[in-house]
Structure 1
Amino acid sequence: MLNTKEMTLKTFKRENTGYVPVGVFLGGSWPIINSGLTLEGLIGKSKETANVFYEVNKRLNADIVMVGTGSTALLIKALGGEVKFDNKGAPQIISELIKTEADLSRLSVDSALKNQSVRWLVETAKELVDLSEDKQLILASGRAPFTLATQLFGLEKFSKAIYKNPRLVHKILEFTTALSLGYFKLMIEEGNVDGAFIADPSASGDVISKKHFEQLVLPYFKKVVRGIKELDKPVMLHICGDITDRLELFPDTGIDSLSIDTKVDVAKAMAIIGDKISVAGNVDPVDVLEFGTKDEVWRSTARCLKKGTEKTGFILFPGCDLAGNVPEENIREFVETAHKWKQKEF
């Protein structure tokens, strides 16, 4: 009999197992905050951090586990950027690291990946993999090249540079592609994780046009995906906001699964790409999971499952990562609804 990890991997390939895998993101601050700890206090303590994520996910009983909390800020800190740690959320990037092309030339991917904080992420992943005993799918969470570029240079400045200095834009994207791929390869080859969960919030349809998405996001993102696929590992992509106008572009990227925000209709996503790649989504993480009642969580989750399971290859997810104050009982109701659904109790 297949375990949940094996069935989740088959769902990534759109194979019908009669099982709907469920993940709850938790790549950010929720597990740490709800364990009464802080990210800053855990850095360097890989065993303790792995235990936090293992125990939280064990309680919630989700099928997909994320590891790599704070990776974006820690990579930027490793490059020499200024980061402020927050006890109630993810670390904040204080200022843009790149102001001129000369600043870019001084940055080193190799040095950043050897930084102690980044090594802590790798060691935490290894510990979590050991604890899971190969029963859950463990994905390294991190950022795509485009979003990393906007965080290194600043979103507003980067948006202007697309028109005023396209040469610098492409040089930054070449750098962040190397940084993104280097991080994921490190987490896979040394951290022993099962695959990659890549977030690209700055590539949202709410932020950039479809034209710029095709010109500036896809070419560099595809390089990262190719590098990960050479290691024979699955890739899940999440983009915030409304990406309905570009859904048909994602199957050609090489990803195995697309995680969609609440703004994207599940039925439409399944109709456009559900025969080509798996789709994950997309219960509202704020109005439903954070502020809704258990009954509202059940109803919204059931509606999402009804739409998604019209075809094979659907994975239940929130529409985005969860804030630290989302009630645990709501997350448990969300997961349990999927478990009952796959057992045909509805």
Structure 2
Amino acid sequence: MGKELIFKALRHEALTEVPWVPFAGVHAGQIKGYTAEEMLRNADYIVESLMEVNKLYMPDGLPVIFDLQVEAEILGCELLWAKDNPPSVRTHPLADTREMPCACKLPTADSGRVPMILDAMRKTKKEIGDEVALYGLVCGPFTLASHLRGSNIFMDMVMDEDYVRELLAFCTMAACRMSELYIEAGMDVIAVVDPLVSQVSPDHIDNLLADGFRTIFDYIRAKGAFSCFFVCGNATKQMEAMCKTGPDGISIDENVDLAKAKEVTDLYNIAIGGNIPLTTTMLHGTQQDNIKSVIDLLDSVTDKRNFILSPGCDMPYATPVENTIACAQAAKHPESSRELIKNYESSFEDIEVDIPDYEHSDKVIIELFLLDPDQCAACTYMLNSVADAYEEIKNISEYRVYKYFIKEDIARTRKMGIKNLPSICINGELKWISIIPNREELIAVVKDCAKKL
């Protein structure tokens, strides 16, 4: 039974096969013809879509929804809805104040979209909960704090640690509240999704974030559920600090070398999940590309204990169904799938792109290489860091945004030699890799480059 496979992985037991968890997210709605907004506002659409995912993709585990803005919406953030992505946070209620949110605003079973989500969870549990391990995803405390405070949170970490600790404590309580509600609704695994953790140093995790994460993971464990720590971006340097917070599992995206990361997680006896590439493989690749990617991941891990196969993050809405079926087949039947890729050749052909003539440009060229500024929180805040500072440097610079789900932008990213996203280049030089610059730092770098033009 697939559910038991997930449990064995999270109990760190020997596995006869690697469990498979497709992060179908709003892609599940696309299968049934629903927009992301329609699905994420309607319990019946969620359940109907998940039943189709269960039938097509043969999951061992499955998130009920993949939406990190539920808590932010409850706490006063305005959302920007989309047809093919989860909503993004449009406003930050604490952007211009350091007041603390009132404890009375902490999520309850009646808050925002929570009643609808709990309804979907209970119905999904009734339908497939005996065979499939169900995941409830909560927004991690650091990302939730950034939703409330905006990009100011990064300067706060330098200028006012006490405020950050107080805000993180509130967000930790919110995560515990949501975890309790989801566990009561039948969720087997609570995934604490905090994409912005990759944006801070291991020391900041140890000194500012770790206590909150430990509190959440201990709370989930005390409630009888498993916990996973989901992070986006190049979290290679943060892996050990994350392990020390004590989750049952960690899930990483394609920016991280899974085999090397597993060496770290194995030292702490923590399961690791990942990390089929989302855009180059699942969205734009062929079935053979997807089979090859899965087989390569399976082969990269010598000890299958503590391993869960999954996409690198929430699957793109328009991911071809046949590509995910190919991943599922390779996960369930790896040996026979090898026969299908004996004569494998990559289908991805780089498109010709022109690189700017930085040396002779009239202005400093700021280039942002992002996964998806609407869906990836780290990408959103990196873009905002440039947009917020642009008024001061617009006479001497221009900025361009490249998105890694557009074929031309994928080709440009590869030609520029950008290996980790999100990243920022200034006049062709890689300046920030998976790190969001503060306003003063960005402006200083741009002005210094402008003097050389």
TM score, norm. by length of structure 1? 0.91
Equivalent in the alignment of 1:49: 46
CA deviations 1:220-245 (Å, max 9, x no partner) are: 11111111010121111111112222
Equivalent in the alignment of 1:265: 257
Distance 1:181 1:289 in 2: 33
Equivalent in the alignment of 2:386: none
- Asked if the contact 1:19/1:342 (under 8 Å) is kept, the reply is no
Distance 2:166 2:129 in 1: 42
C-alpha change, 1:109 and 1:183, in structure 2 (3 Å) is farther
Q: Return the match for 2:187 from 186, 190, 193.
A: 193
Shift of 1:91: 1.0
Q: Return the match for 1:174 from 158, 169, 173.
A: 169
Equivalent in the alignment of 2:156: 161
Equivalent in the alignment of 1:13: 11
Distance 1:322 1:43 in 2: 15
Superposition pairs of residues 221-240 of structure 1, within 5 angstroms: 221-240=213-232
CA deviations 1:166-215 (Å, max 9, x no partner) are: 222111101110111100110101x11112112110101xx211211222
Paired residue type of 1:18:
T
Distance 1:48 1:184 in 2: 23
Equivalent in the alignment of 2:100: 104
- Asked if the contact 2:29/2:45 (under 8 Å) is kept, the reply is no
Shift of 1:340: 0.7
- Asked if the contact 2:190/2:225 (under 8 Å) is kept, the reply is yes
- Asked if the contact 1:81/1:93 (under 8 Å) is kept, the reply is yes
Equivalent in the alignment of 2:21: 23
Equivalent in the alignment of 1:334: 327
Shift of 1:130: 0.4
Equivalent in the alignment of 2:110: 114
- Give me the identity figure in percent: 24
Matched, 1:32 2:14: no
C-alpha change, 1:5 and 1:149, in structure 2 (3 Å) is same
Between the two structures, name the one with larger relative contact order (CA 8 Å, sep ≥ 6).
1
- Asked if the contact 2:278/2:315 (under 8 Å) is kept, the reply is yes
Shift of 1:124: 0.8
Equivalent in the alignment of 2:76: 80
Distance 1:157 1:240 in 2: 20
Paired residue type of 2:297:
C
Distance 2:290 2:211 in 1: 38
Superposition pairs of residues 301-340 of structure 1, within 5 angstroms: 301-340=294-333
Shift of 1:270: 2.1
Q: What is the aligned-residue RMSD (CA, Å)?
A: 2.1
CA deviations 1:115-172 (Å, max 9, x no partner) are: 2511111111111000104100001012111111111111x20001111222221111
Q: Return the match for 1:202 from 182, 196, 202.
A: 196
Q: Return the match for 1:152 from 119, 144, 148.
A: 148
Task: Give unmatched runs, 5+ long, in structure 1.
Answer: none
Equivalent in the alignment of 1:129: 125
Paired residue type of 1:9:
F
Matched, 1:282 2:275: yes
Paired residue type of 2:155:
K
C-alpha change, 1:147 and 1:337, in structure 2 (3 Å) is same
C-alpha change, 1:37 and 1:211, in structure 2 (3 Å) is same
Local SS of the residue matching 1:138: strand
Shift of 1:279: 1.3
Task: Give unmatched runs, 5+ long, in structure 2.
Answer: 340-453
Equivalent in the alignment of 1:59: 56
Distance 1:97 1:240 in 2: 24
Paired residue type of 2:56:
R
